[in-house]
Chain A
Amino acid sequence: MRVVIADDSALLREGVARILTDGGFEIVAQATDAEELLEAVRTLKPDVAVVDVRMPPTHTDEGARAARVIREELPDVGVLVLSQVVEATHALALFSERPEGFGYLLKDRVTEIDDFVEAVGRVGRGGTAIDPAVIAQLVGRRREDDPLGELTPREREVLGLMAEGLSNNGICRRLVLSPKTIETHVNSILWKLGLAPAPDDHRRVLAVLAFLRA
């Protein structure tokens, strides 16, 4: 799987490149700002672009804007955005109702090497990877007549992983539970929240996120 990495910090860029190479990815380009990134993505058409939100010159949201451009211009290129901060609204704005090939992770997730490599792969395959902290923000939000109150702690955990973009198999591996147990939990959650069973993972992520944002 071919990857472009964009980050202005050489140290981090190199580190991420190393763990991704170790994980079996091919690093086709490394960019230090948004312009270089867009150029590399347009010419090389990688499977995934790993993009730091803050890059020169203003260190505000250059990466996020570049990510939006890539998602509009080249829908087949997966984009994994790395952010220094957890902002659900920010993440969901980039998400823009199209979960295919999109990821938004807190930058320090790169130190959880296995999960990170797995998330890059998932986004590269057209899947979704939303940071658990963002999901926690959405799940933890206080609501009046909170429907999440009916969920058991385990069900909440499973709901969070569903929202992050994990498939049932992915949830199985993460929680070390049998596929049958996970399926029971998933059905129970969907029933309690009044959601229809989704035909695929993409639509399940959409439905769950839409529910959490409401």
Chain B
Amino acid sequence: MKLARIGLGLAGLGLGLLAYQVQIDNLAGTTPARAIASVAAGWAFLGAGLAAWTRRTRNPLGPLMIATGFALLCRQFRYSHDPLAFTAFLMLGELGYALVAHIALAYPSGRVTDRLERAFLKVAYATAVVFPLLILLFYDATRPLRYFDPTPRESLLLISGDADVVAVLQNAYAVLAYGVLAGALIALIARKWLRATPRARRVLAPLLVVVVAAALRAVFDSVLSFATPPPAVIYDNLFWWQITALIALPLVLLIGLMRARLAHASVADLVLRLGRTPPDGIRDELAHALGDPSLEVLFWRPDRNEFVDDSGRTAVVPPDGLERAVTELSHDGEPIAVLVHDPALRDDPELVQAAGAAASLALENALLHDEVKTQLRKVTESRARLVATADAERRRVERDLHDGAQQRLVALALELRTAERALGATDPAARVLASAAEELRLAVDELRELARGIHPPILTEGGLAAALESLGTRSALPVTIEAEAARLPPAVEATAYFVACEALANVVKHAHATRATIDAHRENGTLVIAIADDGRGGAHADGGSGLRGLADRVEAHGGRLRVESPPGGGTRVVGEIPCAS
């Protein structure tokens, strides 16, 4: 492909030089400047076409522009005195202008789909070939052709020379091609503009200006053809008007196509920006990158088997048609979303796909993010449930021990004591019964301590303040308690209690403290429990598995546990437990 383009470029260059020489040698009255300008117009189309083809390989506009360039260059060969060159290129020379009209209507997609526009182009191509052909049939060189010098040229197609017929044909052609068809082109472009969406208008704007300028020139030319004889100075101005428009047109088209190319570059930008965009901002970024404020993004929800809009409501994907265009985004065959956009974006499917791919990434990311968040929430909830279940289970075990086993053991001990008394103090069996009863009493004691460790009944019955009071009373250290008497949810009370319990046990075991304080109070819907001592400090939250387990427990309730323990400065364990009450 690259070689082909280089070949085409070199061929065009050579052809241009040749065209220049043909004009200088054969067209009397021309100047080097005019000859160069004519060639330059062809080169402009050729160069712009090659550039467009390089960047937008699948867009037919590039090849079309290259063809136009060649046609405009070849057109100059009609001035040749050689009968074959004159005949051939007079006949085909006008095709260049039909191609220009074709390009104007095909921009920016490179395709003409509108029926009216297609019909127009058929007429234009036919006119561009038929009229020169007819002229060649009657041209006998008795009168010079328009735009030609007086030197006679020989038509190889001559059947019956008639200067009047040629004059009529030339005028008719000027009226039809340069007047009616150029006017129709202006109307079609205007129609295209009026129908265009805002995005398409931005793309069409420069073209509109240049094509209207070029076509107006043709219309003007057509009108002038009735003024006899036309003043030379006007023709000179018209020539430069035409050349300027013909050079400007490919450049404007190229800039337009390159701007679309810039839009492709903005996709790279989009990828970067989307990385920092929350899911609900994806649509706006995409709309900006594609230059389509009407863009809608509908997300596929596999769990609901339907598309939803960005606020989560069920959305119906419109048909892909004239009003709206639909581009599907998928990943691994799974739909992710559809883009409902301006049909003008069909001109640039690569852009939509590239931007869509970037958005897909971001959407997938967002979905994963959502999923992770949901899972985290589920895990948090299940952790809280596990703790709550464990708490309930502890309470149940404690109650079963007290109301079941303990009651029976006490009743049994009572039976033994009663039997012992009945036997009388001297009976040896009485002593056995007495020792059995004593053993039972010890067992009941142990059972009670065990049950209290599992879940102190006072926590359920008296609340956190009473349970902490009891805890302080049993401690081997003097403990000052400051606690609000208000009741809290059982899970919160239990968590706070076990934090205090474990922290106080650590104080007694490790802190070398002489006293401790426990403070429990509510602050903005959070229970703050702080256990402080005047010991040697230097404790770590992760040091004892006891504290780690407590931290887990506190975090399961959405709270946190921290340990402040500077060496030599005492230790302060603070638990913060949310308590919505």
Contacts and interface: CB of A to CB of B under 8 A. Distances in A.
A binds B: yes
Interface in B136-166: none
Contacts of B466: 87, 89-90
A142 interface: yes
A18 B441 CA distance: 19
A86 B444 CA distance: 12
Contacts of B472: 141
B461 A144 contact: no
A19 B421 CA distance: 10
B310 interface: no
Interface stretch (A67-75, A104-112, A172-180): A104-112
Given A61-B461, A89-B458, A143-B478, A113 B421 contact: yes
B402 A54 contact: yes
A87 B414 contact: no
B414 A15 contact: yes
A11 interface: yes
A90 B441 contact: no
Contacts of A16: 414
B315 to A, nearest CB: 53
A112 B414 CA distance: 8
B398 to A, nearest CB: 10
B411 A9 contact: yes
Contacts, number: 100
A103 B407 CA distance: 20
B458 A12 contact: no
B448 interface: yes
Contacts of A22: 421
A84 interface: yes
B446 to A, nearest CB: 12
Interface in B422-470: 437, 440-441, 444-445, 448, 451-452, 456-458, 460-462, 466, 469-470
B410 interface: yes
A174 to B, nearest CB: 18
Contacts of B417: 19, 111-113
A192 interface: no
A151 interface: no
Interface in A69-126: 84-90, 93, 107-108, 110-113
B478 A142 contact: yes
A110 B462 contact: no
Contacts of B476: 142
B460 A111 contact: no
Given A85-B448, A90-B461, A137-B474, A144 B515 contact: yes
A182 interface: no
Contacts of A12: 407, 410-411, 414
A87 B466 CA distance: 9
Interface residues of A, number: 33
B304 to A, nearest CB: 45
A60 B418 contact: no
B451 to A, nearest CB: 8
Contact of A142 (B407, B408, B421, B475): B475
B478 A84 contact: no
B458 A87 contact: yes
A108 B413 contact: yes
B441 A11 contact: no
A188 B415 CA distance: 42
Nearest to A137: B473
B399 interface: yes
A186 interface: no
B532 to A, nearest CB: 15
Contacts of A29: none
A11 B408 contact: yes
Given A60-B457, A90-B458, A113 B403 contact: no
A54 B402 CA distance: 9
Contacts of A108: 410, 413, 441, 444-445
Given A84-B402, A113-B418, A137-B474, A89 B469 contact: yes
A110 B402 contact: no
B477 interface: yes
A85 B444 contact: no
Residue in A18, A22, A110, A142 with the greatest tally of chain B CB atoms within 10 Å: A142
A84 B473 contact: no
Interface string B259-294: 000000000000000000000000000000000000
B452 to A, nearest CB: 7
B406 interface: yes
A148 interface: no
Contacts of B408: 11
A42 interface: no
B421 to A, nearest CB: 7
Nearest to A52: B407
Contacts of A90: 458, 461-462, 466, 470
Contacts of A141: 472-474, 478
Contact of A85 (B410, B413, B452): B452
Interface in A1-28: 9, 11-12, 15-16, 18-19, 22
Interface of B: 399, 402-403, 406-408, 410-411, 413-418, 421, 437, 440-441, 444-445, 448, 451-452, 456-458, 460-462, 466, 469-470, 472-479, 514-515
Interface of A: 9, 11-12, 15-16, 18-19, 22, 54, 59-61, 64, 84-90, 93, 107-108, 110-113, 137-138, 141-144
Given A84-B403, A85-B457, 15 more contacts: A11-B408, A12-B410, A19-B414, A59-B402, A60-B461, A61-B461, A85-B452, A87-B457, A89-B462, A89-B466, A89-B469, A108-B413, A137-B473, A137-B474, A141-B472
15 contacts: A19-B417, A54-B403, A59-B399, A84-B403, A85-B402, A88-B470, A89-B469, A107-B406, A107-B407, A108-B445, A110-B410, A137-B473, A141-B473, A142-B476, A142-B479
9 closest A-B pairs (Cβ-Cβ)?
Answer: A11-B411, A15-B414, A111-B413, A84-B402, A142-B478, A61-B461, A12-B411, A9-B407, A89-B469
